[in-house]
Structure 1
Amino acid sequence: MNSASSAGELNFMTRNQSSGPTTYLWSTSKVVGHHWERQEVPIAEGTLSELLIEVRSLGGGGYIAIDDISFSPQCNNSNGYLPYGTTLPSMTTTRSPCTYSCRDGTCVGKDKRCNFAPDCSQGEDELDCGTCDFETSTCGWRDDSVGYYLWARRNASSITSMPGDLTTNKTSGFVMTVAGGAGTFAGNSRLISERLAIAAASCHVSFGVYRFRDTNGTLTLHLQDDSNYQTRLWTDPRTVGRNWTVTTVSIGRRYSGFRLVFSSTHVGSTISSDISIDDFKFEDCAIQKQGHCEGYTDPYNCSNGNCIHQ
């Protein structure tokens, strides 16, 4: 579908009024390379509606192509006309330089969003920045997979032989796991975090890994900078069993934006939900300001973000 570094954004939408508001069904901007990827998009039951397909260019070159659109037998064609709705007013807008708006309207710049220090009055700029037990959401983590396998938030009871999640140790708990999707080939499955702005030298992450049966595939954690250059931080030693293994990985000092990426391969395996993660935490990542080093009576900030005694 997409080629080059950033071909653009492909959106599928519906509307039930002529010239009326649209509802997004599915959207993607990921690069899948020089091959076709199959995608299924569910359409909610309800009143007469029409499907709209939108492409937005992001100026990165490449192309977007679609083919072989089909509807399942449960979808009924109609010769009717959509009712006229309220015509949306034409508006000319200027793109705001504000990266993130706090609830009180304060603008937070790109270097302040997910920098491990609250800049909004209620701290909401540090929400969905990666630390997550996956009980209610994915906390900014999103699937970026190509092929049949993908990362999904699932209940522990739906995963083979899992005694419970790491957070609650109950099968009613939730985890992120590799599951089967709509693709037709066994490509890599990727789970990517929200963009983090900066990190102290003491920064590290911890997370639990559950792996059952799948000894052929690999699980790695990479750091991806704003130029999409990746550095491998950790590789799973392929510990297989019915227990969670908690791992700690150093991130170190980061002066500019980055993301974390879990990548898994499934060589010769058709088994899904054999690799899961839970309780992902960023720890000691905030850069202490001069005079605010916790636990120090005579603090001094090093250039790498560490605090020492003078």
Structure 2
Amino acid sequence: MIRRRTINQPFQGDGRPCPSQMEQFKPCPVKPCYRWQYGQWSACKVEDAQCGEGTRVRNISCVVYDGSAEDVGKVVDEEFCGEIEPIIDGDKKIILEETCTFPCPGDCYLREWSEWSLCQLTCVNGEDLGFGGIQVRSRAVIIQDLENQHLCPEQALETRPCNDGQCYEYKWMASPWKGSSRTVWCQRSDGLNVTGGCLVVRQPDADRSCNPPCSQPHAYCSETRTCNCEDGYTEVMSSDGTLEQCTLIPVVVIPTMEDKKGDVKTSRAVNPTQPSSNQSGRGRTWFLQPFGPDGRLKTWVYGVAAGAFVLLIFIVSMIYLACKKPKKPQRRQNNRLKPLTLAYDGDADM
């Protein structure tokens, strides 16, 4: 046994200090705790028939436990509970027999009541609104023949108020993708996986398979549930926007100056927005995709074609100008008068 005391007023000035011993212990005899407890129900037994309405029974047993609510107890001889009034969970009415139903082939029936759920409060952003808590339990419907579904009862639900609940937060969790599927579940803020609490409208997808499936050669289902083509192939789309076929992209060999030994870079591309997996200098692959998802040529292809056409015209013009023969310059006429030359013929008259 333990007893404790506290200090009401600490000492001041020249007052006497308080004693340091605040707890005292003393041994006491241990007296076991005993109680009556129900046993398990027996199987449903039907008299003179294979199925239908019958009865089931159970017994009460004397158990010893440590006095806590968590201890389920251990069965002992009934003589230890001889002086205890038969009361189970505060109820003096002991029920040891009840009617039951053993379903016949094709019948619908309700299963046993589930355990009471935890006390759930009405919370907003983790704060209790003060409306109190509620607990729920249910009985599931077992349908053996779908033809009798309209005759089956609905799932039974029961509720009761409670006051020991807590406010929790709930969020969706998902496992990594395995092919086109993954596992999705709801988790409470204390780490417990639950079947309710998360908003259904925010539930992530557990399946990303394409509908219709990607049956074309070299096609696969992407994360956006659309059919795309593998590396080295381009999509050819039909008029309704579905993938019609995957066409092989031609190989374009581009010489490079990075390697003096004459290595070349090969271009066969799928998606120019995706980085190349080969980051090294030798054997690097560039990706070009002239066709869009709708099967039409992209805008930049027209721009390149127009530029090439202008460049061709320019080259032809330069060649023409370079090869054209220049005109010969016209000779100027010499308007100067030739000097008069007098020849002497030896005439004496001169």
The verdict on a shared fold, with TM-score over 0.5 as the criterion, is no
Larger radius of gyration: 2
Shorter-chain TM-score category?
Answer: under 0.3
Higher relative contact order, structure no. (Cα contacts within 8 Å, ≥ 6 residues apart): 1
**Structure with greater helix share of residues:** 2
